[in-house]
Each structure stands twice: as C-alpha cells, then as structure tokens.
Structure 1
Amino acid sequence: MTTLSALASLPQEWQLWINQNLARACTPGSMAEVMTRDGRFDQHLARAAIEEARRARFPNLPRLQSLPEVDTSANTIVTPDRTVQVLLTLKSPRIVLLGNVLSDEECDALVAYSEQRMLRSPVVSDAEGKNEINAYRTSRGAMLQRGESELVERIEARLAALTRWPAERGEGLQVLRYESGNEYRPHFDWFNPDLPGPRKHMERGGQRVATIVMYLSEVEQGGATSFPNIGLQVQPKKGSAVFFANTDVYGNPDQQTLHAGEPVVAGRKMIATKWLRAQTYI
C-alpha cells in the first residue's frame, strides 16, 4: 500500500495554489492560515504540504520549526473545558488576542493563591544569566511551579490545548502585580543566543518561542501591553489573554516582538505570564 505525502494528498488545484504562492514569496504561515480557514484542511496537513513544496523549490533553505500556534481559522476555539473567543489576529508578528480564556473565578483564585508569594520581579542578566533587580521592571511577582495545584494544572492544560504545545514545554506560570506607577519597559521575551547569560537559560529548554499574557483583573487606567514597533496596544481585560510568537518560523528571534507593560496610572493590574520553550523545560 502506497502512502501519499502531505502535498500529494491534496487536490491538484491546491498543490498548484501552494506552488504559485511560494513563487510569489508568500509566507508559509499566511498560506497555512488560508488553507485552514473554515476547517478546509487540518493545520498540520497544511503546514506539512507547504513545507514539502517549499523544500522541493528551495532545497537549501533552513527547515521550518515546529512552533506553538493558535488556530484562528474560526472565531472560537473549543478546548476540552472552555470555549475561547478569537478577538484579534496579526500575521507578522504573530499575535492573537483571546477572550474568555479564564473565568472571573479562576482569575480571582489565581491572584489569591499567589498574593502572599510576591517578590520584586527580576530580569535575566546578560553577562551571567542571574536574576537581578532592574529599574525598568518594577512589578512584583510569584513564580509558580508547573502543575503545583489543581488550579494551575487546569490552566496549563487549557493553554496547551490552545497553543497545541505540550505543557512540559513551558515554564511555570508567573503571576505579576503592577501597582500605580509600576511598569515593564520595552523588552524582548526571547533569549539573545549571542550573550552568555541568556545562553545559560537556554540550556534548560531552548528558546522562549512564544508568550501568553493572561489578564487577571480590570485596570482603571493604563497598564496596556504595548508593541511599540508595530503601534499596537492591548488593553487589560479580565479573563482575556494575548498570545505572541517570539521567533519566526525558522526559530530566529523576531525583532517585531518588542513589547512593554505600560505604567499603571490608576488601579492595579494583575496578570499571569506563560513562556513556551522550544524543548521540554527542566
């Protein structure tokens, strides 16, 4: 019995469409999104077929990497325990704004669970990879272990379903509190592989390939997650989340993902951040 390749299993018109769009220099990600729209093709089949055609046309190009991805082919995403809304999508950089990721009760429970563990939030030093306090990050936070409680495990399983990325390929949740005036100035979440400190952190699970920021509270004024290079601001909305890929489809750090936690002007902002790694995080 002969097994067809991913590309050969597609109708002829779609094989032609893939090759025509590769010739036009369309990105694999945008092509896959068209192919999966309205459930036309499975995302994994679409990506495999595009990569197969791409390798045949450009044999010397680097291979695409498997990366976390949120399926935005429909306006809702049904996970095993919750239906999540797709509110906004960008293709480059890959950013997806999601609604109804957490219930109000889950937000409140996660805040209460973490409140007594809050310490000043550190950053990774470029030289040695140590956690250090820096004036450009003034929040307080609690670093949770993967699966350390039923609540944490449930949220992590939901995020794994949303991103099609195993829970073990992620760091533990980081719950953060921003009081009035607190901020996190523009920064990247990906590790710079040319610097010794970040390289040390990459030994524990590779690159931070994607980020999920979940909003656990309403904020009276300020506190947006901003992407200054593309002019985008995401306003905090309790229960919603923003997903963004930190690398391109070849695993290279994406300079467009520069982002910031804008200063809180009034009220308090509570968020939970999940960093997804290229390999199992240890």
Structure 2
Amino acid sequence: MTTLSALASLPQEWQLWINQNLARACTPRSMAEVMTRDGRFDQRLAHAAIEEARRARFPDMPGLQARPEVNTSANTITTPDRTVNVLLTLKAPRIVLLGNVLSDEECDALVAYSEQRMLRSPVVGDAEGKNEIHAYRTSRGAMLQRGESELVGRIEARLAALTRWPAERGEGLQVLRYESGNEYRPHYDWFDPGLPGPRKHLERGGQRVATIVMYLSDVERGGATSFPNIGLEVQPKKGCAVFFANVDAYGTPDQQTLHAGEPVVAGRKVIATKWLRERAYV
C-alpha cells in the first residue's frame, strides 16, 4: 500500500492554495494558522504539508525549526529513571502539564541544597542586558550550574529525555522561593532580538526556545503559573511540572506565552525553572 505524503493527502484545491501562497511570499506560519482555523486541518498535517511544498519549490524560504517537544501520544512518558504522567496538553501555544516529574524526596533535597544560596531574583535589563532588580519580580532565587551535583545532573538528564533536547542546550536550574505576597508579573521568557540587552544573551546559545517550571512544594493559596492571553492557570503541585514552548514551529517568539507567577496568598512556593536554548549554552 502506498502512503501519501502530507501534501498529497490534502484536497487538490488546498495543494494549489499552499503553492500559490508560498509564491506570494506568505509566511508558513500565517498559512498554517489559516489551515488550522476552526479545526479544518490538524496542526501537524498543516505544518508538514507546507514544509513539503516549501522544500520542493522555495528551499531558501525559512521553514520549520527544531525545538524541544514532549511526546504526548500516550498518557505516560517513560524516561530512563522515571515514568511521568501527561495531565494536560495544549497545541498552540504548546503547553504540557506533567505529573510525577520529581519525587517528594528530590523536591525536598533540591530545596535544601539551594536554601543558603538564595538572593533577590533579578530580570534582564533591556538596555545593557545586565541583571536588574525590579518590583514586578519579588522572589528570591539560586542559580545552579549545569550538572554541579549528582541530584542536579540526574534531574537535568530526565528533563533532556522528556523534551528530547540535549542537556548542553539548557541553562542551569534556577530554584526560586516565593513567600506570601511574592509574585512575578506577566512577562515573556524569550529574548527580544530588537533590544540591545536581550540581544547580548542570544549570543550565549540563541533563543530560549522552551521553559520547564517544576513545582518543589505545594502552596496553601495562590501562586499559580498563569497564561493571561489564553486564560490558563496552572496550580502548583509538588512534583509536577509545566512545559511550554516559547517559540512557534518556525522559531518565532510566541506572544501567547505571556505568563506570570501569581502572588502567593498563603504558604510558600518553591519552584525550579529550566530554560532550554536554541543551541549549546555557554
């Protein structure tokens, strides 16, 4: 039996539409948005068909970019040392909520390991790219080096397996503590290449293509990770994690990934954040 390619599996009028719009220099991203609107075509099929046509007729046009991805074809993901549960998935923006990423013992050990290194959390300055203290981020944090301990290395290897992205393409873990009233107001994790400060950080490994937020504690009230543009809130649950791609399938920063650490109302929230880069992070 012959298997049709993605492009050939589409109705003839849509094959013609793809080629005509590529010839008009329409972006693959905008074309995919039209094709997937109202569920007309599956997102993966649309991207694959457009990419097939682009490679055949317009090879110099920017196409799909590799990015970290979590395989959600089943309800569990088996890594070399742990079985992780898939709890929620969203296609656009790409968000996956995962359970059983860390054990209670690993969460407690990572909190204890980082406790004495906590400093006020900075943000990247737009002008020079230096770390700056701002009122919209009030947590305290500890920046860990990649693989600096057996525990850190084990967690990083698990995340690399989950996202199918090499560990060397990731920044070190950042452990963050939010006391009552602490928050991180809406922001993006991707670097804006149009600003001189963030542009300097792009030199160290390219764009932050994805983020993983791991919850190291339960929180009595508040402290959700919210995505205000899409109306999603992820409540902190010890051992769980939320993965989200900061760029779309074509490597463009995704405006839908605006997110925030909502204020902690009661209790304390501790998380570990892992930023994944486009290239090896140095």
TM-score, length basis structure 2: 0.86
2:4 matched to 1:12?
A: yes
- Looking at structure 2, the residues matched to 215 and 19 of structure 1 have their Cα atoms a distance apart, in angstroms, of 45
- Report if aligned partners of 1:64, 1:249 keep a CA contact under 8 Å in 2: yes
Check whether the contact 2:54–2:63 (CA below 8 A) recurs between aligned residues: no
Determine the structure 2 residue equivalent to 1:144.
144
Number of aligned residues: 261
Relative to the length of structure 1, the TM-score reads: 0.86
Q: Which amino acid aligns with 1:17?
A: S
RMSD (CA atoms): 2.4
Structure 1 residues 19 and 216, CA, compared in 2 at 3 Å: closer, same or farther? farther
Aligned sequence identity (%): 80
1:66-145 superposed matches below 5 A:
66-145=66-145
Specify every segment of 5 or more residues in structure 1 that has no aligned partner in the other structure, as ranges.
1-8, 36-46
- The C-alpha deviation readout for 1:17-59, integer Å capped at 9, x for no partner, is 36777758446x9543x79xxxxxxxxxxx8787334433665
What are the Cα deviations for residues 95-118 of structure 1, in whole angstroms up to 9, with x where unaligned? 000000000000000000000000
Q: Match of 2:194?
A: 194
Q: Which amino acid aligns with 2:140?
A: R
Distance 1:184 1:19, change over 3 A: farther
The Cα of 1:238 is off from its aligned counterpart by 0.3
1:11 to partner: Cα distance: 1.3
| Cα gap change, 1:150 to 1:30, in 2 (>3 Å) | farther
Q: CA deviation at 1:69?
A: 0.4
The one-letter code of the counterpart of 1:83 is T
Structure 1 consecutive aligned stretches of length 4 or more whose deviation exceeds 2 Å: 12-27, 29-32, 47-61
Q: Deviations over 1:122-164 (max 9, x none)?
A: 0000000000100000000000000000000000000000000
The 5 A counterparts of 1:166-177 are: 166-177=166-177
Q: 1:19–1:251: structure 2 CA closer, same or farther, 3 Å change rule?
A: farther
C-alpha deviation, 1:63, in angstroms? 1.3
**What CA distance in whole angstroms lies between the structure 1 residues aligned with 2:106 and 2:180?**
24
Residues 82 and 53 (structure 1), Cα distance of their counterparts in 2 relative to 1, 3 Å cut: farther
Which residue is 2:21 aligned to?
Answer: none
Superposed displacement of residue 16, structure 1? 3.1
Change (3 A) 1:30 1:160: farther
